[in-house]
A = this chain, B = another copy of it.
Amino acid sequence: MNVQVIASVGEARTDELQNKTVIVIDVLRATSTMLTALTNGSRSVVPTETVAQAKSLQRPGDLLGGERSCKKIPGFDFGNSPFEYAPEAVKGKNIIMTTTNGTRAVQKSHKAAHILAGSLLNASSCAVKALQLQKEIALLCAGTHDVFSLEDGLCAGLLADELVRLTGGGCEVNDLGLAMMHAYRQTHDRLPETILSCSNGKRLIRLGYKEDVLYCSQVNRIQAVPQFHDGAMVI
């Protein structure tokens, strides 16, 4: 089985993802937040590319979430902080969500056989689920405005490591994936500090979201794996 790590949405080619299982990774914060919302009882999370699309899809009772430049969109119910998506706020609700990079990664994967939402929080379960789906696997790091982001790469490294372990070495990992596996192994025992000191970590600290970074840096805390069905992420 081939495992291909892709550095950012800008480098993903839609045709290359065709008929694969794509694990979309946006550790800070889209996929971590989607996972948290769904684990806290949200019925579904619908990723959309634009603010206008999000508003047009909203039915009575649905909530709007998302960010631009890491900040909540005016008129929306939530920003992109996982802490906003508490059980009392999201239980039984559909959430229409637009984020800068994570949502674009899902859109870019529309020809995939399966789309999963991966994060450090659910990496192990995500690897198990991806293997069950029995397709070639692409780990699509969302990145930031088409530039590679360290936290997504480290998560891809962890996922690739898990996939290699679960298949007893029966995976062929591309060179970028091998680099990320090495980088993850080097940093796994100080992941929060490592992620706080990379580009998005520093930006989120400046904006007052240090706790979000620490939350999203936890490994295998959640077992659920969001999967894309009929336009929405569900667990």
Question: Contact residues of A with B, CB < 8 Å?
Answer: 7, 11, 147-150, 153-154, 174-176, 178-180, 182-183, 185-187, 194, 198-199
Contacts and interface: CB of A to CB of B under 8 A. Distances in A.
B198 A148 contact: no
A148 B7 contact: yes
14 contacts: A7-B7, A7-B148, A7-B176, A11-B11, A147-B174, A148-B174, A148-B179, A150-B175, A153-B175, A174-B199, A175-B199, A180-B183, A182-B194, A183-B186
A175 B149 contact: yes
A234 B7 CA distance: 34
Contacts of A150: 175-176, 178-179
Contact of A198 (B11, B175, B185, B198): B175
Interface of chain A: mostly helix, strand, loop or mixed: helix
A213 to B, nearest CB: 14
A6 to B, nearest CB: 10
B175 A182 contact: no
A180 B157 CA distance: 12
A175 B187 contact: no
A186 B175 contact: no
A180 B150 CA distance: 10
Contacts of A194: 182
B174 A154 contact: no
A182 B149 CA distance: 14
Given A150-B179, A179-B179, 6 more contacts: A148-B175, A148-B176, A148-B179, A182-B186, A183-B186, A186-B186
Nearest to A150: B175
A125 B171 CA distance: 38
Nearest to A156: B179
Nearest to A175: B150
A179 B160 CA distance: 15
A178 B182 CA distance: 12
Nearest to A146: B11
